[in-house]
Each structure stands twice: as structure tokens, then as C-alpha cells.
Amino acid sequence: MITISIKKGLDLNISGRPGSDGVQPGDPDHVSILPLRIPYIVPKLVVKEGDRVKQGSPLFYDKRDPRVSFLAPGGGRVQAIRFGERRSIQEIRIALSPTEEKTPFPLFSEYDIDRMPRTGLVTAMLEGGVWPFLRSLPFRDMVGPDETPPAIWVVLENTDPFHPSPESYLSGREALFHFGLKVLSRLTPSVRVVKGSLSSLSSPSIAERITHVFSGPYPAHDPGVMVYHTRTNPTENRSGYVTGQDLLLVAGLLKNGFFPVERFVTVAGPFSKKPETIKTRIGAPVSHIVSVKEAQATVRLIQGGLFNGYPVEMDGCMGLFETALTVMGRGNQKEFFGFARPGFNKPSYSRTFLSALRQRPFDMDCGMHGEERACVNCGICATVCPVDILPQFMMKAIHGGEVEEALKHGLLDCVACGLCAYVCPSKIALSALFKQAKTDYYKESM
Ligand code: SF4
Ligand code: SF4
């Protein structure tokens, strides 16, 4: 087992940490899928409003590779298809039927997985809709069906405080997890299972499969950070990764013969009425799984990571890959004579406020608490970057249109953790700039 300690990053001391209880709120009346939130795909619909679908029926495919299908996360009627700008497909909503039907898929045993041709396994995963859960670095697109990634990282946990713990979603599913590892071993020469520490793992059989222990502050468990700190040759930059929960979905399809939809989601944050881990399903409506402490107008819901997720409204739904919903204050209220206050409640990386003395978690909010200014070359952003980028110089290269220079500064290594933007005293949205530059580079070079 390889143990690596990541030094750079930042531990977030935020209130509203969830428990790992796995409460089940019952079935929602509808589920959705959000094609616009699946990176880089070009969706082509195969259903229309009013169609009846089973759990596991195709809803759309990726025009770039029509073998990649996205399946219905529930059985019922296609209630609505919402379009955005230039007819981009934002949401496909399915009203669930009380007698939900499931599409059957072929079943495989471990013996079959060991002996079937690799192409047969890939086809089964493509047709069963679980291939998109295998994602690829550095762009976080999906692994190409004809590619053999040099390694696949199985990421069991996230250092972001508000994500389901492996104990919540692995408990009682150890056999399925091992089956998933068997599947991965047919797709890559190196399967790497990674965790932050072994102490919290209650299952000895899973602890035995851990190949890497990565400890350190957020975002030590990001697969991009792992590759950056372990790669021995450039081909490893195209390593694949899959989260522990998504590996269970892959295994569930092949072992049980139907498209699995179970999801553990954390609902947490300072304004969550009851921070907890919920057992729900892919595409569950937000209103079904969250209740907020304050009036909805004063809070903001974010899905995905705290610093790299995206906002969602109360009438929205969970994205295909998302397993965390954070309830934050909007932070847009004006504070009377705020500049003259000691700031006990204001988290501050630069220890500007008396909050530096505080041990208790903070009620963080989404406010910028200031306006964007020019870079003052303080270098604080570089002190937190887990992949040793100098964000201030990369920003200048991107603004100057010097793509090669940005690549030399490590643009492709950036994991979009958002820390550089969080600590920047000039409030520069560095992370969003880098994410966009990386996306543009991907689109130009593919
Ligand atoms: S440059 Fe990228 S990886 Fe580094 S801190 Fe900023 S967002 Fe994170
Ligand atoms: S933290 Fe902000 S102001 Fe300081 S060097 Fe980085 S970008 Fe410039």
C-alpha cells in the first residue's frame, strides 16, 4: 500500500456537517436527468413528451459516439423536456408510475467477467447505460469505449466535508464492490483503490483492497491530485477514475441485470434543517430531499462540491453524478458598519479577522464580501494549490491568449478545486477562468 500525504490545500471548517445515517425519504413522484450538466456530450433525444419509458429505457445518446446511451432513471411517462439556449437539452423529467417497470439486461457472474472478451464487456456497459460513470483525466470527460486507460482510480471518499462517507454507501454492499473491481480489472492494467485513512473502514475485506492512502486537506482525494502526485510518465495523465458509489452502479447492472438508480446523497450546510445522508435515487427532485432552516429566498442550494459545484433551485433535481447538496446563506445582506466589526463570524484565510481565534465551525455563505480588484501579486493563491500551479501567472497567460504558456504553467493539471479563488484577497474568479480555458482547449483539440 502506498501512503501519500498532501500538504497543500485547505481544511474547511464549515457548520452543518452531515451524519452517515442513510435515511430513506420514500420514493419521489418524478425523477429527471440533466444532459446539460454532463460534460462535453452532444445529446440526441430518442424520446418525446408523453412517451412511456421503463427504468433503463434509452432517453438520449451522445452524437459524438452513438454507442453511449443515457438511460431513464425511473419508469413512467416523459412528463417534460426542457430546452435552453440554442435548443440545448436542459432537463428530461419522468413522472414515475406506481408500477414502475424495468428493462432487463444480461446477467454476468465473476466467471463470465473473467472469460468474456473485453469488447463484450464494454458493449454490455454501454448498452446498460453505466459506461458514462467511467471518467477520464485530465478533462473529466468519459473514458472512450475503445480506450484502455493506463490506470483507473476508485475514489472512495472526498475531502470536501459534505459528501457521503464510504461507510454509508458500502455497508452491506461489499460483495457488489468486489464484483465492480473485477470488472475494472478487465478494462485497465492497473486498478487503484484510494482512501484517506484506513481507520474508519469497518469492512476488513474492503480495507484489504486499498492500494493508496492519500491524507491531507481538501482536495487531497481528487483523482487529478492523486495522478499529479504519483505519475511516473505522461500517459498517466489520461488515467480513468470512478467514485465508489458509481462503481456499485456498474457492478449492479452486470450482476443484477437492471439499470441501478440507488444514490446516497448528503444534504448539509449551515442552513440545512437536518444535515444528514439520505438514501434516494438518481435524479431525485431537490424538494424531495431537502428542507431548509430559513426562507428559501435567503438560501442558496449548491450541488456537487462546495467550491466547484453549481447552483440548483428548489424545483430542480440532482445531476447524474452528484451526491451532495449544500444549503448555504446567500450572503447578500449588507452589514451596517461591517468594516468596523471584529469579524468573529467571518472565515478568513489571511487571518484578517478575529475569527482566526475561533475553533467552532463557521456558517459560511455564498457572498464575496467585497468586489473584484486587480491582482496584487501577493502569491496567496499559490500557497493553497494542491498541484503546485502559480495561479496568478496562469491567469495572465490565459488573459493574454497564450495557450502554450498556460499549458506550461499546468493548465491541464488544474483540478478546479476553487481554493485559489476562495483565498484570493482581490476576489478574482481564478478557478472559473481556468475551468473555462480547459474546456475551450478540450473542444479545440478533440
Ligand atoms: S489553480 Fe486549479 S488546482 Fe490550483 S488552487 Fe486553483 S483551482 Fe485549485
Ligand atoms: S491571490 Fe489573487 S491577488 Fe494574490 S497573487 Fe493570487 S490572483 Fe493575485
**What backbone phi and psi angles, to 5 degrees, belong to 411?**
-50, -40
Ligand nearest to the CA of 381: 2
Each residue's pLDDT expressed in tens, for the chain with a length of 446 residues: 899 999 999 987 888 888 766 677 778 999 999 999 999 999 999 999 999 999 999 999 999 999 999 999 999 999 999 999 888 999 999 999 999 999 999 999 999 999 999 999 999 999 999 999 999 999 999 999 999 999 999 999 876 778 888 888 998 999 999 999 999 999 999 999 998 766 666 788 888 999 999 889 989 989 999 999 999 999 999 999 999 999 999 999 999 999 999 999 999 888 888 888 999 999 999 999 887 766 667 788 999 888 888 999 989 999 999 999 998 887 656 655 555 555 556 666 666 655 665 667 767 776 666 677 899 999 999 999 999 999 999 999 999 999 999 999 999 999 999 999 999 999 999 999 999 999 999 998 87
Domain count of the fold of the chain: 2
Distance 251 CA to ligand 2 centre (A): 45
- Smallest CA separation from ligand 1 atom 5, residue: 385
Structural domain includes residue 424? yes
Tell whether 93 is covered by a domain. yes
Ligand 1 within 6 A of CB of 385: yes
Is any ligand 2 atom within 6 A of the Cβ of residue 426? Answer: yes
Integer-rounded Cα Rg, in Å, for the chain is 22
Give dist(CA 380, CA 171) in Å, integer: 41
Distance CA 437, CA 232 (A): 26
CB 188 within 8 A of CB 148: yes
Q: Is the CB of 398 under 6 A from ligand 1?
A: no
Residue 48: inside a domain, yes or no? yes
At which of 103, 122, 156 does a domain end? Answer: 103
Which of 103, 124, 141 is at the close of a domain? Answer: 103
**Tell me, what CATH number does 418's domain have?**
1.10.1060.10
Q: Which residue among 78, 103, 128 closes a domain?
A: 103
Distance CA 384, CA 380 (A): 7
Please tell me the number of the ligand nearest to residue 8's CA: 1
In a domain, 361, yes or no: no
Query: What CATH number should be reported for the domain holding residue 41?
Result: 2.40.50.100
Q: Quote the domain boundaries for residue 395.
A: 370-446
Burial 67-80 (b: 16+ CB within 10 A, else e): ebbbbbbbbbebee
Please, what is the angle between helix 174-185 and helix 244-256, to 10°?
A: 90
* 417 occurs within a structural domain: yes
Distance 416 CA to ligand 1 centre (A): 5
| In a domain? residue 343 | no
Does any domain span residue 215?
Answer: no
Bond before 73 cis per omega within 30 degrees: no
Confidence (pTM): 0.92
Give a yes or no: residue 435 inside a domain: yes
Per DSSP, which regions of 84-173 are E strands?
A: 89-96, 135-136, 141-142, 152-155
Query: Contact, 387 vs 413, CB < 8 A?
Result: yes
Ligand 1 atom closest to Cα of 431?
A: 7
Q: Please report the beta strands in 127-268, taking only residues with DSSP state E, as ranges in sequence order.
A: 135-136, 141-142, 152-155, 191-195, 212-215, 240-243, 262-268
**The cell 454507442 sits on which residue?**
67
- Within a 10 A sphere around the Cβ of 132, how many other Cβ atoms? 22
Identity at 361, one-letter amino acid code? P
State how far the Cα of 161 lies from the Cα of 357, in Å rounded to an integer. Answer: 21
By the 8 A CB rule, do 68 and 84 touch? no
Nearest ligand to the C-alpha atom of residue 389: 1
